[in-house]
Structure 1
Amino acid sequence: MKRTAFAAAGLGLALLLTACGSDDGNSSDTAGSTSSSSMWTTPEAPKIDLSQYPALPAPSAPAAPTVDCTYPAAGAAAKDVQPPNGTGVSTAGTVGVALTTGQGPIGMTLDRGEAPCSVNSIVSLTEQGYFDNTPCHRISTAPGLGMLQCGDPSGRGNGGPGYRYANEYPTNQFAANDPALNNPVVYPRGTVAMANAGVDTNGSQFFLVFEDSLLQPNYTVVGTISDEGLATLDKIAAAGVDGSTAPSDGAPTDTVTIATAKVA
């Protein structure tokens, strides 16, 4: 299991955002550290002026109407599921996914043009019931990182679907060794993005951004959150973090469980 550290750049703030797709198959986190069940954060920093940081780069238009995606095995799945078909995946249009939670509905609009392989995976997992009755195990209300993380049926932050796949937008807008990949950009409020254990280790975990957040452009953006969903997230965020691990990063005070996920 890998735990990834995202840096809310320039803040001296390193936060662990777990994702799927670790080397041992029990999945992951967001940026690549060692296997540990603990989470940590430094004390909260003052409010950050995000205007000094760049926005996400503009996405390129799809080069073809379809792409072929690969989903290599990555250890045991947290919940029994089959990898998606990766042949002839569409790059056109959007698809809706509706999350029903005990705290309220969260609607997502996923963009095939920006992240066809990621959207293909989420749709496949949704149709197989993978996200049903699963917790959103982590919330951050720290300056520069406001998000709720979901998608691990184990609820431990290290669970995934038993496969992994490559990063897409915005990572693919940069050359592989571009130093800009180490610099933060603003992931705006309303973004849905994939958590990971390092570049190209995406699995089933995703995070829902409810405050403009600073992250390196190494987290695949898959879509946007509905206004109704943002209202639900604001309610969850207002209740805060349970405080057992850190004052601004940990399990939500109010338990958040995805009762059902449906392709709209």
Structure 2
Amino acid sequence: MTVLGGGVAQASPGTPDAGTPDTTRGPCAYTVTPDEPAARPVPLPPDPRHTPDRGHPEVLLQTNQGPVPLVLDRAKAPCTVQSFLHLVRKKFYDDTTCHRLTAYPTLKVLQCGDPANTGEGGPGYRYGDELPTDLAPVPNDPTGLRRVYPRGTLAMANAGPDTNGSQFFLVTSDSVLRPNYTVFGRITPAGLATLDEVAAGGIVPNPDSEVDGRPALTTDIERAKRTR
């Protein structure tokens, strides 16, 4: 299984604003993906010569199941935080549905961030990984490659190296993955309480998997807003 693929493919019309360059000139190099148009029109993020790399901006995901407050970490992933805040500011995440819940023994996450609600939608651009280096290794892992993404982690989904877009995942219980997913913040206890209720609701039955699919408690992001 391709874990947490955030692929973006022909989701619906819409690309970054006409007249913008294909790639921003700053260190984040946000790049237009013409073959993977935006699920909702949005311009490329700002890309200053010095990407802000200090501070912990806060964002509230107001969902129909309850609040999910997030604390971002510029130091860990400055380009990712810059992009995420841009998408919040442009209301990209408003009125979207979290399309995927996993309940594997070693992978428990809720995945969101696709306005197309297909698991393939994105913002019409991509940018490079900012991979974590401080995750604990999995005890007794014969490969030595897997790491623990702790409960409360906020990370980017992707479809392979350097394919970050808009989809992200919220870790509801300690999960085991290779360190191939950018960590850019954490979920507050209040947010985890909301997510625990979503996870407890289970997954909509489907022929492919009993532990990977749409959450039975439909979870809509009604509004995403920066609070600090």
TM-score normalised by the chain length of structure 1: 0.73
Deviation at 1:171, TM superposition (A): 6.3
Q: Which residue identity is paired with 1:18?
A: G
| 1:5 aligns to 2:2 (yes or no) | yes
* Deviation readout 1:167-224 (Å, 9 max, x if unpaired): 0031699xxxxxxx98210000000000000010000000000000000000000100
> What is the distance in 2 between the residues matched to 1:182 and 1:235?
33
In structure 1, what residue type is equivalent to 2:112? C
Give the match for residue 23 of structure 2. Answer: none
CA distance in 1, matches of 2:125, 2:133: 20
SS in 1 for 2:68: strand
Identity %: 47
**In 1, Cα distance between the equivalents of 2:174 and 2:205?**
22
- Pick the aligned partner of 1:151 from 105, 108, 113: 113
Equivalent position of 1:73 in the other structure: 32
Q: Which residue in the other structure is 1:31 paired with?
A: none
1:18 is matched with: 5
CA distance in 2, matches of 1:214, 1:192: 14
Match of 2:168 in 1: 206
Among 106, 112, 137, the alignment partner of 2:74 is: 112
Matched-pair contact (CA < 8 Å) for 2:147–2:176: yes
Q: Check if 1:135 corresponds to 2:94.
A: no
Residue 61 of structure 1 corresponds to none
1:71–1:164: 8 Å Cα contact kept in structure 2? yes
Question: Are the aligned partners of 1:182 and 1:216 in contact in 2 as well (CA < 8 Å)?
Answer: no
Q: Distance in 1 between matches of 2:166 and 2:133?
A: 18
Contact 2:45-2:83 at 8 Å conserved across structures: yes
Unaligned segments of structure 1, at least 5 residues = 7-16, 28-66, 174-180
Contact between 1:171 and 1:219, CA under 8 Å: does it hold in 2? no
- Are residues 198 and 26 of structure 1, via their aligned partners in 2, closer, same or farther at CA, if it must alter by over 3 Å? farther
Q: Is the CA contact (8 Å cut-off) linking 1:25 and 1:163 kept in structure 2?
A: no
> Structure 2, unaligned stretches of length 5 or more?
13-25, 136-142
Judged with a 3 Å threshold, the aligned counterparts in structure 2 of structure 1 residues 172 and 212 are, in CA distance, closer, same or farther, namely closer
What residue is the counterpart of 1:250 in the other structure?
A: 213
Task: Count matched residues.
Answer: 204
CA contact (8 A) 2:5 2:160 kept: no
Poorly superposed stretches of 4+, deviation over 3 Å: 24-27
After TM superposition, give the deviation of residue 18 of structure 1 in Å: 2.9
Distance 1:103 1:222 in 2: 23
1:55 aligns to what?
A: none
Report the equivalent of 1:167: 129
Is the Cα–Cα contact under 8 Å of residues 190 and 226 in structure 1 kept in the other structure? Answer: yes
Structure 1 residues 172 and 83 mapped into 2: Cα distance closer, same or farther (>3 Å)?
Answer: farther
Q: Deviations over 1:105-130 (max 9, x none)?
A: 00110100000000000000000000
Bigger mean CA deviation after superposition, 105-114 or 69-78:
69-78
SS of match in other structure, 1:230:
helix
Please state whether the residue corresponding to 2:57 is helix, strand or coil. Answer: strand
